[in-house]
Chain A
Amino acid sequence: MKIQTYNPRDWRSHPPYSFKTYGSSVKRGPLKKLVPLEQTLSEITGPLFGDIQLAPGETDITRNAETGKEAMGERIIVVGRVLDEDDKPVANTLIEIWQANAAGRYHHPVDQHNAPLDPNFIGAGRCVTNDKGEYRYLTIKPGAYPWLNHANAWRPAHIHLSLFGPSFVTRLVTQFFFPGDPLIPLDPIFNSVPTKSGRERLMASYAHDVTEPEFALGYRFNIVLRGRQATPFEGPQ
């Protein structure tokens, strides 16, 4: 049996474990050199959620708090494609989504920011990509919020995304940002990405073709997961 391995993590695209200006990263990342592991059956397999049954409301985060009412804030439609490094679509892959409400507050007991909670907004959703790797969901544009990393620190508006891809090694948790947000250049989490081109890959773009008249603005955010290596590797017999 040949096993089809995946490209390595591109460390020019991903942040380092420890990034000084993001204070809580300093004590929470490995300091020793990572041990190289040649991928085996354990790494090239992984959980697939392609047949997951999503509840009807999961792609509409403006109405899935099950109160029968709509969340407050600026409605947005978020679309995009999930691709691998060879631009092949990653089909039937689960995307988990979470975010703050329009006032910049999370539906979470740890969030003590003095901004209103919205009873009609939880801020979580899920979707699965189609055969072309496309996804789409409706939500509220999240607000900026303060945090304690440094004096007068504010996170720019962002939405968290979690993806699995086809294997254990293609796992990705990321977040994307909105164009024109003046807080972005000040954000240590955004700035932890070592290259300018990498940081640009965390930006959604305004998508007028997705915007629906009299309803909501559209944004596009494409995601690239690790691709398969060109030559199959001689694996377990």
Chain B
Amino acid sequence: MSKQTPSQTVGPFYAIGLTRETLNVMAVEGIQGERICIEGQVLDGDGVAIPDVMVELWQANSYGRYNHPDDKQEKPLDPTFTGWGRSGTDEKCFYSFETIKPGPVPGNDDTVQAPHVNLVIFARGMLVHAFTRIYFDDEAANAIDPVLLSIKNKARRKTLIATRGERDGMTVYRFDIRLQGGNETVFFDM
């Protein structure tokens, strides 16, 4: 057996290799589902928004199917939707994604997971990326989501819930990520 290659930071100049192209517009023309925007800031231990952070997003389509051969559900695939996006930050240190609301996907042991997207956070200063999830505050299924329920400290569950709002007729979910502090976002070991 070989051992895993160690992780290292993306450093301050990751944009050269990773974000020169626009990769955060996942909802293309003709996409099926409810168009939404997800945006927010990533805050350090002093509560300061981080400029040199990168967020990657992976999600199911509006039917709740992942575009991946290991998802063998008999739900439709949307050929216009890969389910993956990547965002650096803008001049106000916001990451953002234009996407669609994912459908519910199966959990383990006959459970159903509430609609969610899966995130990876990278930054200068982060030697290892961090995994988290975004749920949506207008989804009743959050109350029975097996992953949310597995977080023993109930107060921390709300760190994974994005807040629905509206701007220029567009649904915008706000989701800030706190790397440290009293309301540190839940990060997963998976």
Say if the beta carbon of A218 comes within 8 Å of chain B: no
Interface size on B, residues (CB 8 A): 73
Residues of the A chain whose Cβ atoms lie less than 8 Å from the Cβ of B83: 47
Residues of the B chain whose Cβ atoms lie less than 8 Å from the Cβ of A106: 13, 16
Residues of the B chain whose Cβ atoms lie less than 8 Å from the Cβ of A181: none
Interface size on A, residues (CB 8 A): 83
**Other-chain residue from A24, A47, A172, A235 in contact with B84 (beta carbon distance below 8 A):** A47
**Other-chain residue from B3, B9, B70, B110 in contact with A44 (beta carbon distance below 8 A):** B70
Tell me, in angstroms, the Cα distance from A19 to B113 when the chains sit together: 35
A107 touches B6 (CB 8 A): no
Say if the beta carbon of A201 comes within 8 Å of chain B: yes
Tell me, in angstroms, the Cα distance from A210 to B118 when the chains sit together: 40
Q: Which parts of A101-125 form the interface with B (CB within 8 Å)?
A: 106-108, 110-111, 122-125
* Known contacts A34-B187, A96-B18, A108-B16, A41 near B4 by CB under 8 Å: no
A14 touches B6 (CB 8 A): yes
Residues of the A chain whose Cβ atoms lie less than 8 Å from the Cβ of B69: 48
Tell me, in angstroms, the Cα distance from A157 to B13 when the chains sit together: 15
A28 touches B188 (CB 8 A): no
Tell me, in angstroms, the Cα distance from A10 to B4 when the chains sit together: 7
Q: Which parts of A162-189 form the interface with B (CB within 8 Å)?
A: 162, 167-169, 171-175, 189
Tell me, in angstroms, the Cα distance from A16 to B67 when the chains sit together: 32
B13 touches A98 (CB 8 A): yes
Q: Which parts of B44-58 form the interface with A (CB within 8 Å)?
A: 44-46, 50, 52, 56, 58
Say if the beta carbon of B163 comes within 8 Å of chain A: no
* Known contacts A29-B126, A34-B187, A35-B186, A14 near B7 by CB under 8 Å: yes
A224 touches B127 (CB 8 A): no
Tell me, in angstroms, the Cα distance from A47 to B183 when the chains sit together: 30
Which of B32-40, B91-99, B100-108 lies on the face that meets chain A?
B100-108
Q: A25-B125, A108-B13, A174-B6 are in contact. List 8 more A-B contacts (CB 8 A).
A: A14-B4, A42-B113, A48-B69, A98-B13, A98-B17, A162-B17, A192-B8, A201-B5
Shortest 10 CB-CB distances between A and B: which pairs? Answer: A98-B17, A236-B106, A24-B125, A45-B68, A47-B84, A27-B45, A15-B127, A28-B125, A34-B189, A45-B66
A-to-B contact residues, CB < 8 Å? 1, 3-4, 8-10, 13-17, 19, 22, 24-32, 34-48, 83-87, 96-98, 100, 106-108, 110-111, 122-125, 160, 162, 167-169, 171-175, 189, 192-193, 197-199, 201-202, 223-227, 233-237
